[in-house]
Homo-oligomer: A and B are copies of this chain.
Amino acid sequence: MNTGDNCDQLRQEVRTWLLENVPAGWRDAMTNVGQDAFVALQRMWFEKLVRAGYATPHWPEGWHGGGRSLSDQKVIFEELARADAPRLILYFVALYHAACTLFECGTAQQREKYLEGILNGQVWCQGFSEPNAGSDLAALRTRAERHGDRYIINGQKIWSTMAQYADYCLLLARTDSSGPPQAGLTYLLLDMRSKGVSVRPISQITGDDEFAEIFFDDVEIPVENRVGAEGDGWAVAQATLASERGLTLVELTQRMRYALPRLVRSMREQGCEDDAVIRRDLGSLVVNIDAACALADQYLTKRIAGAEQVGDASVVKLFYAKTLREFASLGMRIGGLESQYHSGFMRGATQETGHWMLDFMNSYNWSIAGGSNEIQRNIIAERMLGMPREPKSWQVVEGRP
């Protein structure tokens, strides 16, 4: 891992900038407020980061802020975590999924059209999952029928993060049902203001509604909005999914570490700072977090060295999800009965807010979404340990266990 002069200088620079620019008290300002306040904060923070060049360090050279090495990006993310800066949740799909897909698979024309828009604050969402294709993307059924220079879309997407705010959508749809399921998918860019698009936010068990369903009723998309060839959607989607691997986990694991003092303060508030059982579990959590940070760091180091292997990301995500759950669980134990009272709803704060029950429920985002723990275990067992895959098709027949 490069910890040389360049990195140290950048670290100092980012740290100083954050000290001056992270909106003071943003957590309190985001507690028990409506969506508008949240969107306004995200926009303000996005613009600041874009201007400073810290929102797009992963973009190629030539683009604003772009051309940074992975190790420089890591420094930026670590410092964002350290400074407890807001996460750019509203712009995440735009900055990572959309941008990286366009850089990797888009045409020059598409890049020109959309990337500038992203820098100007256009919000994107991802339309991959469907009600019957959650973990199993190959089963998706939203249809895209070619009519001349347009595709006509009918169907439904679900679990689309912040779709209700989105200007554009990364849409994976089926253009062919005749061959193998993965071969019939096509990747399209959809203007969310198109006729026939409707969005219904999903009320979550946290009280939030950061996910939404999207319904398509004869929605038209021009053929030039296709990314890659017709039927190449599966491959393009892989580029989308790989776009932020690693860095996000570095940031999130570091955020856990910097959030540990919240547990300690809770212990003091609850007068249980001398409880040996709680202290033992706290000590054990600290080490688990160190391990999660080390795993994420090692993973990024491997990526920098071009030595990433299939399954590496699954290990990090699985371990992170487990540790995050432990974090929130310990918080609840410390908080006692009080942890079961609504202590305010903090928008966009995601993890380790100190509202332990909220944090606990949010931790399921990491064990279910983006490939559930179960899917990650399959990948690790099959692709790292070389154990047999689950059979492709499977007859339900009676037989001894």
Contacts and interface: CB of A to CB of B under 8 A. Distances in A.
A285 to B, nearest CB: 15
A397 interface: yes
Nearest to A377: B401
A282 interface: no
Contact of A391 (B136, B277, B392, B396): B396
A106 to B, nearest CB: 26
| A-B CB proximity, top 4 nearest | A392-B399, A378-B401, A276-B276, A392-B397
Contacts of A275: 276
A113 interface: no
Interface of A: 136, 138, 275-277, 280, 375, 378-379, 382, 388-401
A67 B398 CA distance: 40
B391 A395 contact: yes
B391 A394 contact: yes
A389 B399 contact: yes
Residue from A138, A389, A401 having most chain B Cβ neighbours under 10 A = A401
A384 to B, nearest CB: 12
A400 B400 CA distance: 26
6 contacts: A277-B277, A379-B401, A382-B401, A389-B400, A389-B401, A392-B397
A172 B85 CA distance: 70
Contacts of A398: 389, 392
Contacts of A391: 391, 394-397, 399
A395 to B, nearest CB: 6
B136 A400 contact: yes
A395 B398 CA distance: 16
Nearest to A400: B138
Nearest to A396: B388
A398 B389 CA distance: 6
Contacts of A400: 136, 138, 389, 392
A401 to B, nearest CB: 4
A138 B379 CA distance: 32
Contacts of A378: 401
